[in-house]
Amino acid sequence: MRKPDMKRIFQFFLLISFPWIANAQGNKLLTLRECYDRAEKSSAIAGEKDSYSAIWQLKDQNLSKGWLPTLDASGTFIYNSEVVDLGSSLGSVPIPGIADAIKPMPHEQYKVALEINQVIWDGGVIKGARALEKADLMINEKQTETDLYKLRGQINTYFFNILLLDRQKQLLQNYLELIGKRISSMTSAAENGIILRSDIDVMTSEKIRLQQQLGENEIRKKSLVKILSSLTGSEIDPSSELVLPSAENLNSAELNRPELEVFDLRKEQLSASLEMISSKRMPKAYGFATLGYGNPPGNNFFRDEFAPYYILGAGVKWNIFDWNKAKNERQMISLQQGVIDSRKNDLEDNLRRLLEAKSAEIESFKTLIATDKEIVILRKRITASAESQYENGIITATDLLNEMNTEKLAEINAEIHKINLAMAQVEYLNICGEEL
């Protein structure tokens, strides 16, 4: 017995399965979450976070260098019109030659110096300044997230409108196919003299109207896909299949919107400002040194020659009275914190009202969907009865077409309600600040 050729069997199965593989590869699925991610990555705003981080790092480095010593080079030339002349003052002393031995102080002074200053204790000013810059970075980053979050509303609009057009196209194509079959059967009946030619014209006009609607559907979809591609920053294939998102578990009404987090971060920034005010009122300790070369060297005015010298020292500064400036600054910050609390509460109230309205909208769609199925079943029965009545000559082709259109409208409404429910649920999550 001849053994089966396994290579040929494999080629056969590959051949019969290839259409299914090609079809699976051709159906590109696109989810709403993918659109969100693409939009956030491609938006010009997305690059701001990296810029803010780079700016903060540079500022933080500069602030950290406040603990390093400062080096300043200086040079001076001074001419004094009057100087101390000890020789003339000691001229009356009865010691021979003493007045001639003491030279008068020079009128000119030359100095070149390197001055070094080192902070020993700054009362926490540098630490406070770094905390303020860090808070500013977090606010800017969160504000960027807020601006990116607003893109979701636009994406939702176009994504769900494309879904509606896809469902409408599918139903119109099914209806067009049904009308085509009806015209074929009516053509045969007209040739046998069973029905009038005008009945075929009624159906043919409906077929043309459906083709017009499909053409309009295609044009509108291309336009919406182009806009969605622009928002997401990536070319979306018009043949891609958009996945209807499933948003469940909407019982939680917690608000996690990035706008609310911005308010919290601003309050933290103000708290850091309060600490900064206290730091400025603390005493400051510092050390200093001067390395110089001059004539006279340092404060040795009796030495009329160029020579090196140095000065070492330390000091303390404390502004013991600032005319209530710090107190006024604290009051201003307190008022700013009150404004932030008020605006945050106002935003939360508005969001909760939106959630209540959206929740009612969701329940309304659920109620409609519960009855849509029953309406579609009833309309199919009515259409089937109308077809029987038409075949028996009880009603006209126009009457039959009216019933068919009513059934089609019921099916389209059912799909619209499903998509609108999904959109309302997604919008509910967006209002809360929750992810899909």
The predicted model gives 257-264 an average pLDDT of 94
Q: How many CA atoms lie within 13 A of 353 on its CB side?
A: 6
pLDDT at 31: 95
pLDDT at 305: 87
Residue 399 CB partners (closer than 8 Å, separation 6+): 386, 389, 390
- What pTM was estimated for this model as a whole? 0.80
pLDDT tens-place string over residues 372-410: 999 999 999 999 999 999 988 899 999 999 999 999 999
The predicted model gives 140-144 an average pLDDT of 94
pLDDT at 3: 45
The predicted model gives 265-270 an average pLDDT of 95
pLDDT at 102: 63
Lowest mean pLDDT among 22-36, 42-56, 183-197, 288-302: 22-36
Instruction: Examine the pLDDT at 244 and tell me if it is beyond 50.
Output: yes
- Closest to 340 (Cα-Cα) out of 257, 408, 259, 281: 259
Q: Confidence band (pLDDT; 50, 70, 90) for 419?
A: very high
Instruction: Examine the pLDDT at 285 and tell me if it is beyond 70.
Output: yes
Q: Confidence band (pLDDT; 50, 70, 90) for 87?
A: low
pLDDT at 93: 52
DSSP 8-class letter at 102: S
For residue 412, how many other CB atoms are within 10 A of its CB? 17
Instruction: Examine the pLDDT at 98 and tell me if it is beyond 60.
Output: no
Instruction: Examine the pLDDT at 17 and tell me if it is beyond 80.
Output: no
pLDDT at 44: 86
Q: Confidence band (pLDDT; 50, 70, 90) for 220?
A: very high
Give the residue, 2 or 295, on which the prediction is more confident.
Answer: 295
The predicted model gives 84-113 an average pLDDT of 67
The predicted model gives 20-46 an average pLDDT of 77
Kindly state the tokens that stand for 53. 């981080």
Lowest mean pLDDT among 5-14, 51-60, 374-383, 401-410: 5-14
Q: Confidence band (pLDDT; 50, 70, 90) for 94?
A: low
Kindly state the tokens that stand for 377. 């079943």
Instruction: Examine the pLDDT at 6 and tell me if it is beyond 80.
Output: no
SS3 (DSSP) at 230: helix
Rounded Cα gap, residues 147 and 228, in angstroms: 18
SS3 (DSSP) at 71: strand
Lowest mean pLDDT among 122-126, 195-199, 291-295, 431-435: 195-199
pLDDT at 92: 56
Report the share of the chain in percent with pLDDT over 90: 71
Beta-strand relationship, 241-242 and 29-30: parallel
pLDDT tens-place string over residues 126-139: 999 999 999 999 99
pLDDT at 13: 36
pLDDT at 21: 37
Instruction: Examine the pLDDT at 313 and tell me if it is beyond 90.
Output: yes
On whether the CB atoms of residues 140 and 384 are closer than 8 A, the answer is: no
Instruction: Examine the pLDDT at 425 and tell me if it is beyond 90.
Output: yes
pLDDT at 27: 59
pLDDT at 373: 92
Q: Confidence band (pLDDT; 50, 70, 90) for 99?
A: low
pLDDT at 185: 86
Whole-number average pLDDT of the chain:
87
Identify the bridge partners of residue 110 per DSSP, sorted by sequence position: 77, 295
The predicted model gives 30-45 an average pLDDT of 92
Domains, in order of start, for the chain: 30-68+122-283+318-432 (1.20.1600.10)
Give CA angle at 348 (345, 352), nearest 5°. Answer: 140
pLDDT at 19: 39
pLDDT at 96: 54
Q: Confidence band (pLDDT; 50, 70, 90) for 302?
A: confident
Instruction: Examine the pLDDT at 208 and tell me if it is beyond 80.
Output: yes
Instruction: Examine the pLDDT at 20 and tell me if it is beyond 60.
Output: no
Residue 167 CB partners (closer than 8 Å, separation 6+): 412, 415, 416, 419
